[in-house]
Structure 1
Amino acid sequence: MNDELSDELALSWSRLQTVKASKCCLRVLHISLNFRQYVNVASMAILVFDYCLTLDLEVSLVWPSRMTLSKTLFVLSRYTPFFDVPVGLYYILTPNVPLNRCFNLNLAATVMSVFGIAIGEAILFLPQSMGYFLAHQCSCLSFLQATQVGASATVVMVSMFLRSMEFGPPILAAIPGCNQTGGSFILIGACFILVLLNETALMSYTLWLGFKTYRHSRNPLIVTLYRDGVMYFMFLFMGSTANFAILIAGEASFFDLPTFRR
């Protein structure tokens, strides 16, 4: 009799611990998903806030100017986030998204993110190198060819990653957004390694160009250009590092945060 009571008590205790563990796991999952949603909504808020801060200068200085390569890059970097960030928010916040639509949304957001990163690197390289390029075309062309090889490898790996993506129904009906159930995330990690290497090489090359060409210059414009360029690079570098860490060591619910890097 005592043995039967002991077995029943042990079984009841085990069930109680299982229920507590399940509640704890659900609570952790809920906190993680809320954090992901808060970060992504904050990204959209920062985007709109930044646009409003400089809209008057943009209207008075940029819009009336003639179309050049620099203006084209500026317009692309300025306005394309208003496409892919809402797509990403829809991907994350909309309940009961069909699985085929999840794939298309993920495809659009990922392609636009890669495009935005490429535009950002072009902006980082263009202002400091154009003057030097005219006088030293061979060295600049060699560097651009090496950069193009890295960019091509990144595009190939992103394509392989997109084909490997798998989606399933949400874990709970109350959880909005698409549920990624599989995919070769290591490919995206490798892409961000290439981005880190490319950005480091790009910034090192830019600093070398600046030191060689403008080391005796006291022009405030040149000083400001290089100072802001270094700061811009540092933010890009930290963003790439954070993205790589999330993809390698983070939880699956955070894998889409790199969408909002740019």
Structure 2
Amino acid sequence: MWNRGRAAHEAAEAAAAVPAWRSWVSRGERLGSALADLVLPEDCAGCGRAGTVCCAECRSVFDTPELVARGAGTHALTRYRGTARALVVAHKEHRRRGLTGPLGDALAAAVPHLPTARPGPDGTWWLVPVPSRPSAARRRGGSHLLALARRCAATLHADGHSVAVAPALRLAAGARDAVGLDRTQRAANLAGRLRVREDACPPRGTPVVLLDDVVTTGATLSAARAALAGAGVPVGAALTLTAA
């Protein structure tokens, strides 16, 4: 669980030049993923091909991102359909955590090229994952979006960027599953429940990039923007894997 001490620790490291842990995380996550594939090979979550959690062909659906625009400053890598949908659902609902690597890498490839995104004054890119309902996160074995954000950060760092992850939002108990809700219902579902974690925020005025896996109506991202703006944290851009 995130706490004030850890938030301060990560923020301090983000401000330091080339923090040592970032390259360690990048190498460690990739090595761990490779070892897991060798010891416990899985079938591809996109096509069922044996021996890999995500084959090169299925991974390629994110290689040339369409950057589907969903409102000012909101982009998705591709549409929520076919192989992309299968990969997102497997990662989110079926706990296929081996997909964190390829999906996080796909986000990292797009972040520096988002039209409205920008790093902070010191050159650090700040990533804020959209939170899940607490009950959903428990069912899924943890926050899949926080895992994606951390992989995205590790990959960006390996590419030479200064980057930090700020889990600055939390969703209070009482929010319903948003599946099947329209934009108005989703907004009402989030009203008063999407809150800022002051101890995990970047410095006031620092632009951030919101990360999510699917954008449907845009209500969740709008609520996240509003909550962060109220804390003095502007959202430069929002990036999702897919757009429904």
What TM-score, normalized to structure 1? 0.23
Of the two, which has the highest radius of gyration? 1
TM, length-normalised to structure 2: 0.24
Structure with greater strand percent: 2
